[in-house]
């Protein structure tokens, strides 16, 4: 069974989506630990509700960022974690963690990468005036949202969208494709070839999901 470690800084709704899929028997995995850099993160309450071990690691306790990520890596390795999930972890992962889990760290971003990386992808999309936005699950490398793409979901943007309304619409798709990416990993169906992630038996995969067209006259 796949052993997962989760890193989160805030409410952890994607953390919850993965918990739900495990508890509903749709994902054969166990969450070994939640690690957070924020002692007030709501993700901690989610962990407690589901009897998941959690740990706060204060980045201010370390003289260098690499030492902080070395501590995280050590905690994950000590629990036999196979896959690391970033669920709203608001820090760029650094080399000690990436080296400890090569091609075994996933992140989800609220935009169709490589468009609009970094913070506030939804706001960036609205400011640019795009008609389609979405979300991307990708493997983590040393850059900001630059790792190989696993799954993407496309989400329409309406003329009266705000950052909040678009964010909520995108989030509903994040909750679908993130557990799916984890499931594919758990089944050994993901293979990285350069920048491409090859998915075996691709027809069974949720990908390029688009909501039904929205009639803006009714929106």
Q: Which of 109, 120, 175, 202 is catalytic?
A: 109
Contact between residue 14 and residue 5 where contact means Cβ atoms under 8 Å apart = no
175 is catalytic: no
Q: Supply the residues annotated as catalytic.
A: 109
């Amino acid at each position: 069974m796949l052993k997962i470690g989760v890193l989160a800084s805030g409410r952890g709704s994607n953390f919850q989506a993965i918990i739900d899929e495990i508890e509903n028997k749709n994902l054969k995995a166990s969450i070994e630990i939640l690690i957070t850099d924020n002692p007030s993160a709501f993700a901690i309450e989610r962990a407690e509700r589901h009897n998941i071990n959690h740990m706060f690691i204060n980045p201010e306790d370390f003289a260098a960022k690499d030492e902080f990520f070395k501590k995280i890596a050590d905690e994950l390795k000590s629990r036999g974690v196979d896959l690391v999930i970033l669920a709203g972890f608001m820090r760029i992962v650094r080399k000690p963690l990436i080296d400890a889990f090569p091609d075994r760290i996933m992140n989800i971003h609220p935009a169709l990468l490589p468009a609009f990386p970094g913070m506030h992808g939804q706001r960036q999309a609205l400011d640019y005036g795009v008609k389609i936005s979405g979300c991307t699950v990708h493997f983590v490398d040393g850059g900001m949202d630059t790792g190989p793409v696993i799954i993407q979901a496309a989400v329409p943007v309406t003329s009266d969208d705000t950052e909040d309304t678009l964010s909520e619409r995108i989030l509903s798709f994040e909750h679908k494709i993130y557990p799916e990416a984890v499931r594919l990993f758990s089944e050994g169906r993901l293979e990285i070839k350069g920048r491409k992630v090859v998915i075996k038996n691709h027809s069974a995969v949720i990908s390029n999901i688009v909501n039904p067209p929205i009639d803006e006259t009714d929106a």
